[in-house]
Structure 1
Amino acid sequence: MSYRSRVRGCLLGGAIGDALGNPVEFLSTHRIRERFGADGLVDLLGDPALITDDTQMTLFTAEGLIRADVRGKDVALVVYRAYLRWLDTQHRSGPPDDADGWLAGHAFLYARRAPGNACLSGLQSGRMGTPADPANPDSKGCGAVMRSAPFGLNPRWTVEEAFGAAVECAVQTHGHPSGYLAAGAFAAITHRLVLADLGLAAAIEGTLELLRRWPKHEEVTAALEQALTLDRAATPERVETLGGGWVAEEALAIAVYAALAHPTDVRRALLVAANHSGDSDSTAAIAGNLLGAWHGETALPADWVSRLEGRATIAAVADDLASEFLHGADLHTDDEWTTRYPGS
């Protein structure tokens, strides 16, 4: 399986999970069954099926990583500026005439789809949170973990570097250790799936070893261990024993559990990740990132991908991310590339 297919699978898989869970994000399991029947939600809704802030921020994460690589600048600072461009999309009705870079020129991103309070407040504070002085030090909502898959896709980074970069950028909005360590763990699992060619269980086990080296890892470690050992009945009631996914370690655990329950059937796994009384779009988005990274683009349900809002843009960002990470030095003298991804 090609690296490019895994990168595409990761970003598109996350987006279809996000769009799948979007309509039921704030519904209880009882209400989901009441509305959709005993089996709950069984299909992607809408044409196009709308993404949320989860996919928006993931795209800006990827764009920030490309732009940091173009100029060889500090990753955390350039990704922070990318998040400020995302913040701008939440306050405008459409792209400005002088949009900063290619991604910010796409009108479909200028939509407010229930963004997390910590993401907004952390970025509106006027300062960049750092590991030494994080933004929102008491927040461990899932808004940092859900955007962090791209940190795991750089083949020039070690798994430790992927983990650390995700942490550095997570603390820009989520300063609680469980908030930023879940983001680091997600990036590390993704890195092991894509670049070490491990199965999901092995990728998680290896990441747990890395995670335990960090102070205050206990909540994230316990959540992942529970997801690994929980029986695979995969009913909404079983999913909800892991929590609701509103906080970071629970969102990661639910996504991991859904992917482990149906490791070769992306459609069924994403339905498990979405059908519960919790943060359905984020848990399904993370599950989609993991499964797409593991199995590649061709494993994704084609009928769902074809109805996805912004599909062509998401695929293009994935291709550009892969190109930059594989062939960056050859691209940096190309004026068209550096106009598309200015290094700031």
Structure 2
Amino acid sequence: MSAAAGATAPVWGRAEQQDFRSRVRGCLLGGAIGDALGAGVAGLTLAQMRERHGTDALGDLVPAYGRPGAVSAATQLTLFTVDGLIRAQVRRDTGAWHPPTDVHRAHLRWAATQRDWGPDERREDNGWLAREEWLYARRDPAKACLVGLGDTVMGTLEHPKNPGADDPAALTRSAPFGLLVGWEPQLVLQLAVECATQTHGDPAAYLSAGALAVIVHGLARGESMDGAVQRAMAQLAVRPGHQPVTEALKHALGAVRQGMPSPALVATLGTGHSAPQALAIGVYCALVGEDIRHGLLLSVNHDGPSDATGTVCGSLLGAMHGETALPPAWLAQLEGRPTLLELADDFAMEMTQGPALHGPSVNTAGWLLRYPRG
């Protein structure tokens, strides 16, 4: 089934709208905090972290890209994923509704930030996000993302881009698909998978992206973490090539029962250099963290790509607990926080109030300038 088919809108009361907005904010801000924590120790082994920061390794934000709280390409791409999802909903009025295309176009706008000096004011279809100057910075993007988005050709499941790429860069931008709470889980999975294949063609990578989206989807609907993971595994079971992702999630659930949470237990799940391992580490740390701070620190204190595993863990914890549970001291230092909040609120407004913003009988001009249909 196409990811563009069959999505229905839920009925929103005021309390439901407020809860949803809190979870959207939590997911985006939490992922960015995890990314910023991990970016400060990216490339270091656990032993090297302990040498620099003490026996408990990393315990706070440390400088990355010139300042504490700076984010990597994972957060940049996540922002553009959200932008693409909003554009898709806005374009639904036109009858030309195909969310994978809109997300792909948004990711191409991100790719422009990696090669241009600054926003191109002549492009009327850029919308507001692509005019944010702080996004025009290279923050260690994965080669597969640069190559896959180096032209305008879209990949497909049958002919994906970079068929050998199994790193976590598609995974770390995929949490926002789970915030489509009015969609059925199988459609959320399909959309995340289709969008991941634009840069990562290994089933382990694109199915990990789909699994994260389904887990976030469950959490955003109020499910438990364990229940959301079980649902994701059930959705994966019919997908060719799902075994590495399913096994990684099983290992994450099994590790919960193996004793007190520790870096040693995290290490049993792998390094995080592959997407299934990064997913497993993020899920495990979100499950066992005594609180959000503890879970996030556990997710970045290991030998692998700490920014990726921190992003996954933070996205899950934020979607589960909402924005008010996030550590205020880390939020205060987070790069791009106003942009993240603005985009999160726009996403929540579009998903809950879309008919009042655009449609056959109403068009809010300012909204369509922010999110052009072109």
Q: Are 1:30 and 2:52 matched, yes or no? A: no
- Matched AA of 1:149: A
Q: 1:323 to 1:277 in 2, by over 3 A?
A: same
Which of these two proteins has the greater Rg computed from alpha carbons?
2
- Matched AA of 1:179: A
Q: 1:98 to 1:45 in 2, by over 3 A?
A: farther
Give the Å deviation of 1:235.
2.2
Q: What residue in structure 1 maps to residue 237 of structure 2?
A: 212
Q: What residue in structure 2 maps to residue 74 of structure 1?
A: 98
Q: Is the 2:27–2:316 contact (alpha carbons within 8 Å) kept by the matching residues of 1?
A: yes
Match of 1:247 among 255, 265, 274: 274
Match of 2:80 among 50, 60, 70: 60
> For 1:84-95, what aligned pairs fall within 5 Å after superposition?
84-95=108-119
Q: 1:106 to 1:232 in 2, by over 3 A?
A: farther
> For 1:21-170, what aligned pairs fall within 5 Å after superposition?
21-46=38-63, 49-72=69-92, 73-98=97-122, 100-170=126-196
Q: Is the 1:223–1:253 contact (alpha carbons within 8 Å) kept by the matching residues of 2?
A: yes
SS in structure 1 at match of 2:333:
coil
Q: Are 1:18 and 2:35 matched, yes or no? A: yes
Tell me the distance in 1 between the aligned counterparts of 2:346 and 2:237.
Answer: 34
Deviations 1:139-168 (A, max 9, x none): 111011100011011122111111110001
Q: What residue in structure 2 maps to residue 338 of structure 1?
A: 368
- Matched AA of 1:208: M
Q: Is the 1:232–1:261 contact (alpha carbons within 8 Å) kept by the matching residues of 2?
A: no
Give the Å deviation of 1:206.
1.5
Deviations 1:278-300 (A, max 9, x none): 01001001100000000000110
Q: What residue in structure 2 maps to residue 6 of structure 1?
A: 23
Which 5+ residue runs of structure 2 have no aligned equivalent?
1-17
Match of 1:268 among 282, 289, 294: 294
- Matched AA of 1:20: L
Q: Are 1:257 and 2:257 matched, yes or no? A: no
Q: Is the 2:160–2:198 contact (alpha carbons within 8 Å) kept by the matching residues of 1?
A: yes
Q: Are 1:227 and 2:249 matched, yes or no? A: no
Deviations 1:191-228 (A, max 9, x none): 01112x11101110121111111111000000000000
The number of residue pairs the alignment matches comes to 342
Which 5+ residue runs of structure 1 have no aligned equivalent?
none
- Matched AA of 2:339: T
Tell me the distance in 1 between the aligned counterparts of 2:259 and 2:152.
Answer: 45
Tell me the distance in 1 between the aligned counterparts of 2:200 and 2:356.
Answer: 36
Cα root mean square deviation, aligned: 1.2
Tell me the distance in 1 between the aligned counterparts of 2:52 and 2:119.
Answer: 36
SS in structure 2 at match of 1:97:
coil
Q: TM-score, normalised by structure 2?
A: 0.89
Q: Is the 1:89–1:111 contact (alpha carbons within 8 Å) kept by the matching residues of 2?
A: yes
Give the Å deviation of 1:48.
5.1
Give the Å deviation of 1:133.
1.0
- Matched AA of 2:245: V
SS in structure 1 at match of 2:268:
helix
Q: TM-score, normalised by structure 1?
A: 0.97
- Matched AA of 1:221: T
Deviations 1:256-311 (A, max 9, x none): 0111111x511010000011110100100110000000000011001101110000
Tell me the distance in 2 between the aligned counterparts of 1:319 and 1:129.
Answer: 30
User: Quick check: 80-89 or 232-241, which moved more?
Assistant: 232-241
User: What is the aligned-residue identity percentage?
Assistant: 49
User: Quick check: 27-36 or 46-55, which moved more?
Assistant: 46-55
Give the Å deviation of 1:232.
4.6
